[in-house]
Amino acid sequence: MTNAYERTQRHNPHQLTIKQHCFPKRSIERFANENGLVHVRLIDHERTVFLKPDDNNFCGLRTWDQRAEDGFMKEIEDKFQNIADLIAEGKIVRRLTRDEEDIITDMYILWNCRWHWNKHPIKDTKVQGVSDVSRRLSKDEQERLEKAGIGVIRPDLTISGRNLTGVRIQLNFSDERERMRGFNWAILNCRGSAFYVPDNASDKAILPVTPNICLVNGQGYQFASEHKVLAINAWAMQTSDKYYFWKSL
């Protein structure tokens, strides 16, 4: 799932995010076993392994810029994780409020937008109509500006693909948010069986929270039959492109 990426200066002095999760790391951690590992099926390699939630298989490497990572993406994730914690702890066992549903929708959209653009990253792009820049920024200056959320034109007159990808994700997110306005989510709980997590959910509104809880289109708090769980897991395996994971029972 990793792509070629622009490396930071040695020791990454400005703490730019290298590993960028499509599905949030904190969400993956809820599926980890007592050793902090999740059970992962790597589709291309046709093998099953145990991996840490920060493994490269779950990440893009500087696919989008720091402005997006620390800005609107972090805000969406933080709001969602607050709700996910309450659901996981059994403190929300009712119909979700409109605000809660909208926050879940935002996370669902962001997950799939990030997956798409990590799979189809934008390349560095030459700036047209510019023959020179007034000041040639050093690598350190470029990284300082990126940390501050500012895009730059490099000395070779290119804009980084991650800057363009960050903007593209934000635009796609806004379009999808409008399309899914008013979407309803139900809390689906299962006993005994466990939900699988696909690497993307672009064709079905499903958002796993814990091994036994999954958010699905609907309303209220529902219990899933074993048949329903098997159907969701079969879909998760079929829709996944690179991997799917679960918690071993």
Per-chain mean pLDDT for the chain: 95
pLDDT digits over 44-59, tens only?
999 999 999 999 999 9
Measured between alpha carbons, how far is 116 from 121 in angstroms, rounded to an integer?
8
Domain that holds residue 175: 19-124+160-246
Mean pLDDT of 158-162: 95
Question: What's the predicted TM-score (pTM) here?
Answer: 0.94
Classify residue 230: in a domain, yes or no. Answer: yes
Asked, for residue 147, whether it belongs to a domain, the answer is no
Alpha-carbon span 196 to 168, nearest angstrom: 29
In a domain, 131, yes or no: no
What does the pLDDT average to over 169-186? Answer: 98
Question: How many whole angstroms separate alpha carbon 221 and alpha carbon 218?
Answer: 9
Residue 236 lies in a domain: yes
Q: Work out whether strand 158-159 and strand 125-126 pair parallel, antiparallel, or are unpaired.
A: antiparallel
**How many structural domains is the chain composed of?**
1
Strand partners, 158: 126
Q: At which residue do the structure tokens 């999760």 appear?
A: 21
Residue 86 placed within a domain: yes
The verdict on residue 145 lying in a domain is no
- DSSP structure string for 61-123: ES-S-HHHHHTHHHHHHHHHHHHHHHHHTT---SPPPHHHHHHHHHHHHHHHHHHHHHHSPPP
Residue 1 lies in a domain: no
Answer yes or no: is pLDDT of 70 > 90: yes
Indicate the burial class of 91 (C-beta count within 10 angstroms; 0-12, 13-18, 19 or more).
Answer: exposed
Q: Rounded to an integer, what is the distance from CA 248 to the centroid of its chain? A: 22
User: Mind listing the pLDDT tens digit for each residue in 122-134?
Assistant: 999 999 887 777 7
Share of the chain above pLDDT 70, in %: 98
In 3D space, the residue among 169, 187, 170 whose CA is nearest the CA of residue 83 turns out to be: 187
Q: 199-214 pLDDT, tens per residue?
A: 999 999 999 999 999 9
Q: Is the pLDDT of residue 219 over 50?
A: yes
Residue 213 lies in a domain: yes
For the purposes of burial, counting CB atoms within 10 Å of the CB of 58, is it exposed (0-12), middle (13-18) or buried (19 or more)? buried
